[in-house]
């Protein structure tokens, strides 16, 4: 039970920190609204997750 509570607390704190970062710090960055930046923002999470899952699959096969 203690381990699950610690995990939930870590996820909550990470989520709260990310929310503060998005709300207060990121609006100060000046990222131009271009098609290239939009594509990067859309496809980067997909590429990262695909890479991680492929890496884990290859490790599991060995």
Extract the tokens encoding 24. 């207060």
Residue 6 scores a pLDDT above 70: yes
12/7 Cα distance (integer angstroms): 9
Residues 39 and 57 in one domain: yes
Total domains in the chain come to: 2
51/33 Cα distance (integer angstroms): 27
Residues 36 and 26 in one domain: no
Q: Which domain holds residue 50?
A: 31-62
Q: What is the pLDDT of residues 20-62, one digit of tens each?
A: 999 999 888 888 999 999 999 999 999 999 999 999 999 998 7
Tell how far CA 5 is from the center of its chain: 22
Residues 26 and 47 in one domain: no
Give pLDDT, residue 1: 62
41/37 Cα distance (integer angstroms): 6
Residues 51 and 38 in one domain: yes
Give pLDDT, residue 31: 86
**What is the band of 15 on the pLDDT scale with cuts at 50, 70, 90?**
very high
Across 3-12, b (16+ Cβ under 10 Å) vs e yields: eeeeeeeeee
């Amino acid at each position: 039970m203690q381990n699950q509570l610690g995990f939930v607390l870590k996820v909550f704190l990470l989520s709260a920190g990310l929310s503060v970062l998005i709300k207060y710090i990121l609006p100060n960055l000046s990222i131009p609204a271009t098609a290239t930046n939009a594509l990067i923002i859309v496809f980067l999470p997909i590429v990262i997750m695909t890479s991680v899952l492929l890496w884990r699959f290859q490790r599991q096969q060995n």
